[in-house]
Amino acid sequence: MTSSLPPLPNPNDLSARRRHRANQRVRLQLGLMVVLGSLIGGLGAIAAHSFLDRASTERSPALTANPAPPAPDVKEPPKTSPNVSNISAAPAVILPEPAALASFSPAAIANALPAESSNSSNSNDPLAQLWTQPVVTAQRQAQRVDIAYQAQSGAIPQQFRGKIIHGGGVTANNKVIALTFDDGPWPETTAAAMNLLKQFGGKGTFFVVGNLVGRYPDLVKRMIAEGHEVANHTWSHRTSYSSPAIAAREIDNTSATIARYTGFGTRIYRPPGGILNNGLVNYARNKGYAILMWSTDTMDWRSRQPEAIRQRVLRSLKPGGIVLMHDGGGPRWATIKALAKLLPELQAKGYRFVTVSELLWIREQERRQAEQNSQGIMTTQAP
């Protein structure tokens, strides 16, 4: 049998031995190049497969792994949620269209108000009018807030402008609580939260991401139509340091977009992540926004256990409380299931679910009442 290997060199032939070693080195280098080429090609194929698989997963309805089974009264539609990572930075400030803001004029609101009840003890006092009428419709809620706006030259009481608010501040027998929802509007879960609030006659405050308002305008319009409040949560959920120019785009553009789609402005701002020292809060305070924090953090942004969310609310429950939850930033079905249990439970304890603006005006009303009582005592005790 003839061998295909080259013949071994003559041990006595020095030049042949050198050629043989050179040939061996060349064959070894060629072999290594083939092996490396195969490895690189294999890694490239794996990377391409991983990318295609990830892209397919993002387009797939099965966005979350191992979703919890839905509660009996909460239906989870199998739809894909948007990707927050695709949210772009805020563009230049969009000025609201005059037609969209016409309904926000205090004079226009005042002219549209129905006559107040003649049996009111102080019918000439806008604040008295504000609290003698029940909140029964979205129009009435907006009118009540704007009566206060007309009386105080702002949508929130003057004492809260530029202030950081954590909750509380009402008497123990005034069982009101503000349920707040961040990072929306979001398909399905925002609507589900509003469905539950409507079922139990409650109002909430939705801190919206400006970039998402234009994507889901019907959800934002529904918030106003059903008496909820829409507040500012920056344009792109920005948490990093922001210069005054960037802060202006993030905050002003969001408020203008809210006004464009709803006809109502906002002077309530919540910093994403609760970060107070990155330039955004400083800008908002200088613009007269109330900086709305919370007295209860449900931690629902990382918890998928409805019972854990529920227990956090119950442990810190108090009149005037502000509860932080999320309706966006991902599929928040654990929050929705916890909310379905909490609403009837809190209602049975005598709590009313109010917007943040209404909570602030309740605090203002109690402050005024305390001042009047104090003045009355001083007048009585004077000689």
Active site residues: 182, 326
What DSSP element (H or E) covers 182?
Answer: strand 176-184
- Cα angle at 245 between 244 and 247, to 5 degrees? 60
Contact between 320 and 169 (Cβ < 8 Å): yes
Q: For residue 190, with 0-12 CB atoms within 10 Å meaning exposed, 13-18 middle and 19 or more buried, which class applies?
A: buried
Please report where in the chains the tokens 């009264």 appear, as a residue: 73
Q: 3-state SS of 41-99? A: HHHHHHHHHHHHHHHHHHHCCCCCCCCCCCCCCCCCCCCCCCCHHHCCCCCCCCCCCHH
d(CA 284, CA 200): 33
Taking residue 244's Cβ as centre, other Cβ atoms within 10 Å add up to 12
Spatial CB neighbours of 93, under 8 Å, sequence gap ≥ 6: 248, 249, 252, 253, 256
Contact between 57 and 319 (Cβ < 8 Å): no
Distance of CA 38 to the CA centre of its chain: 49
d(CA 146, CA 142): 6
